[in-house]
Amino acid sequence: MALGSCKTGDEQLSLENNKIGKAPTKMNKENLKPSKEVPKREEVAIIGGGCFWCTEAVFEMFDGVKEVVSGYAGGASKNPTYKEICTGKSGHAEVIKIVYDPTVISYPKILSVFGECHDPTTLNRQGADVGTQYRSTIMYLSEEQQKIAEAWKNKLTENFIDPVVTEIVKAPVFYAAEDYHQDYYKKNPNAGYCTFVIKPKLKKLKLE
């Protein structure tokens, strides 16, 4: 064997890899890092149409809805409690925050369902629930949502004899309600309100 023809172990392995089409063993460390996961699309809608137990139960039935949180919004006080809300003097409304995938369920669809699951013509009232906390409200989080909401209201007005009283306002701070309010229908399907109010509404909307 001629002198000087020996190769180091790394050089020999690299040469053999190249001959059989393999990549060299010395690789860029950046290529070894795991690729970042493509973020999933999520958008948020905030609406109120009476007792949040009911609206929460309705929207939890839809594909594309990832989470529904019952809460309070629209008043001046911070971190309001249910007891404060029940006075009707806090300025807050009972609302739900819907986290959804817009590729599965659109904002216009959410408003369409919203219009069907409550009466948008009764001021500060839904059935036996009376007070400003039960007002019909859409709290938009973008100019696009505002435009869609206003178009929805205009179209709905054409279909009702009584005026549509749903307020459309820029979303204020949202405060999640107490834990016992969350997933209320799922946790208490046989409770009186669930039996006489929520279940009939779900059946009317063909969701149950």
Catalytic residue list: 51
85: tokens are 């809300």
For residue 205, give the nearest of 88, 85, 49 by alpha carbon.
49
Cα–Cα distance for residue pair 55/94, rounded to 1 Å: 10
Query: In Å, how far from its chain's centre is CA 186?
Result: 18
The answer to whether 72 touches 87, Cβ cutoff 8 Å, is no
Whether the CB-CB separation of 139 and 47 falls below 8 Å is answered with yes
Under 8 Å between Cβ of 90 and 84: yes
Helix, strand or coil for residue 113? helix
Coil vs helix vs strand at 156? helix
Are 107 and 43 in contact, with CB atoms under 8 Å apart?
yes
Cα–Cα nearest to 137, from 68, 145, 42, 63: 145
